[in-house]
Amino acid sequence: MTIVVGYSPSGQGAAALRAAVRSARRTGEDVVIASYQFGDGEDERGASSEEELRTALAGADAEGVEVSVRTRDGVDIGEFLLAVVDEVAASLLVIGLRRKSPIGKLNLGASARRVVLGAPCPVLAVKDDHRVDEDALVAGA
């Protein structure tokens, strides 16, 4: 079976990737990274480059884990993740969530809600990694 991880170069993406790699090591499964477009408005960027993904995988200590990547720009994130889950018949989907204010915690983001409710497999939602320097991740450092 396969573990799918929703990834963008951010604290939540790094946390999700680490969680997926840990699960893959424990179960002996492969990992498929669903790398998607991120950012808002003028700050919008495309999916991560191959170099950015290599850096992220090194940071997640993914050596020895079989990893493949699916990318798609301009598609709803939730729909993209669900399509990848269906394509590979995933046993687990791992997503990262942003930290929110006390009021914001009452509302799960639209894409996250779509994924949690629509996934045919268990979904592991992890908190973002506030220790990760998002500017360094975006720069590929």
CB neighbour class for 133 (10 Å; exposed up to 12, middle 13-18, buried from 19): exposed
What digits encode the pLDDT tens for the residues 105-115? Answer: 445 677 888 89
For residue 105, the 8-state DSSP code is G
Q: Which helix (H) or strand (E) holds 99?
A: none
Residue-level pLDDT at 135: 46
The distance from CA 78 to its chain's CA centroid, rounded to whole angstroms, is: 11
Pick the CATH number of 2-139 from 3.30.1490.110, 3.40.50.720, 3.40.50.620, 3.90.230.10: 3.40.50.620
Q: What is the residue extent of each domain of the chain?
A: 2-139
What digits encode the pLDDT tens for the residues 2-50? Answer: 999 999 888 888 899 999 999 999 999 999 999 986 655 555 555 677 7
